[in-house]
Amino acid sequence: MCNIAGYTGQKRAAPILIEMLRRQQYIDGGRCTGIATIHEGKLYTAKAKGDVDALLQQTGAWELPGTTGIIHCRPSYNMLSHCHPFTDDGDTLAIVANGTWRDVSCPAFTADSNAIMEDYIARGMTVKSLYKSDMGTAMKNGYSYHGSELFALMIGDLLKKWGAVSRETMLNAMQKALSARPADVVVVGIHQDLPDTVTVGTVTRPMAVGLAEGEAYIATTPIAFPEDVSFRHIQYAPAASISQVTPDGWRLTDKAIEGTQAESIDYRIAAAVYARMEKILKEGPASLYDFDAWRDWRDLWQEPLVDCKYANENGCLKPYAIAIYEALWSFYKEGRLRSRMPLPEEKHQFLKFWLEN
């Protein structure tokens, strides 16, 4: 589970993004970290192997200019070339993503993805995440790539083809990219020509939006949001939705992710996940990986589901991560959630949670 944060408003984005990521990174993440901001029509990025502290020690991330930006950390693949954000071929836009290909891992998905990337390479595009691979998912040249980079290249290519960058074309490009490769993901993007706009495309993974006066925050969990900000509205983006945040608010569009149908999480699912997590956390400290909703909690997940054109026999995509994060946020708001950073000798470096009554 990668962690994401974004900001647009009147304040300098980099310090806000860094502190939001610090508040959530060990829920799951901390091995690869990166940030992107926009200032005066230019995209700025910084990446590092390691956590937020490594990013600050190894780069000038804290000093990046601009009042709009995104940040990301991931829990695996400690490789600089696989750090988010990923950029398009012209380094004009950046995206961060959270998710997995687990439930769409099928020959058709791999073949369609590789065909798109092979076309880009043939056209002379630079693919920064290439690595030699002997897996069955490699391209014809024997190389593979980070799946999230394909989203950046697709969105950038569409915008270039359309010849104009606007809020509307950015929304349309996000819609087309996710329609081409729907999976258990959320994708967040910014473009240097849109200095006050963050575009969000979510299929199943969580992305919370917090609106305040003249500014907007997004994050994998609202636990990341600053406590000294008076939010007038906080809500998770719905499954299979395309939206944008600006300092003026949040535009949730009716643009459909093609080949994908979603049902919303209702109160019964939310209550069942809450109760099961409450029982586990009362018994003692647990990490995110002690909540096996996608695998062991299938009795809770007859519905809702997200059905897409690549869903395989492992089961249709399900927004289980949103339910888990909503329950954690509820415990946090109730003042019951306690946590501690991982100890150095612990094998799995994830934040430990428990509940106090």
The answer to whether residue 299 is domain-embedded is yes
The answer to whether residue 310 is domain-embedded is no
The pLDDT of residue 162 is above 60: yes
CB proximity list for 245: less than 8 A, separation 6 or greater:
6, 8, 197, 198, 200, 209, 211, 216, 218, 251
The pLDDT of residue 343 is above 70: no
The answer to whether residue 294 is domain-embedded is yes
53 and 189 together in one domain: yes
Question: Residue 340 has what pLDDT?
Answer: 77
> Structural domain of residue 333, as residue ranges?
266-303+319-355
234 and 278 together in one domain: no
pLDDT tens digits for 274-329?
999 999 999 988 888 888 887 788 788 776 778 899 987 666 788 888 989 999 99
38 and 102 together in one domain: yes
The pLDDT of residue 347 is above 60: no
The answer to whether residue 198 is domain-embedded is yes
% of the chain surpassing 90 pLDDT: 70
190 and 244 together in one domain: yes
211 and 280 together in one domain: no
For the segment 149-161, the average pLDDT, to the nearest whole number, is: 97
287 and 178 together in one domain: no
pLDDT tens digits for 229-268?
999 999 999 999 999 999 999 999 999 999 898 877 778 8
For the segment 191-209, the average pLDDT, to the nearest whole number, is: 97
Q: What is the mean pLDDT of the chain?
A: 91
Question: Residue 291 has what pLDDT?
Answer: 86
The answer to whether residue 260 is domain-embedded is no
CATH number at residue 15: 3.60.20.10
The pLDDT of residue 348 is above 60: no
% of the chain surpassing 70 pLDDT: 95
Q: How confident is the model at residue 62 (pLDDT cuts 50, 70, 90)?
A: very high
CATH number at residue 295: 1.10.10
CB proximity list for 110: less than 8 A, separation 6 or greater:
136, 137
68 and 186 together in one domain: yes
242 and 288 together in one domain: no
The pLDDT of residue 60 is above 70: yes
242 and 272 together in one domain: no
Question: Residue 296 has what pLDDT?
Answer: 81
Total structural domains in the chain?
2
The answer to whether residue 308 is domain-embedded is no
219 and 339 together in one domain: no
The pLDDT of residue 155 is above 90: yes
The answer to whether residue 314 is domain-embedded is no
The answer to whether residue 259 is domain-embedded is no
272 and 348 together in one domain: yes
pLDDT tens digits for 63-93?
999 999 999 998 776 778 889 999 999 999 9
For the segment 213-222, the average pLDDT, to the nearest whole number, is: 97
205 and 295 together in one domain: no
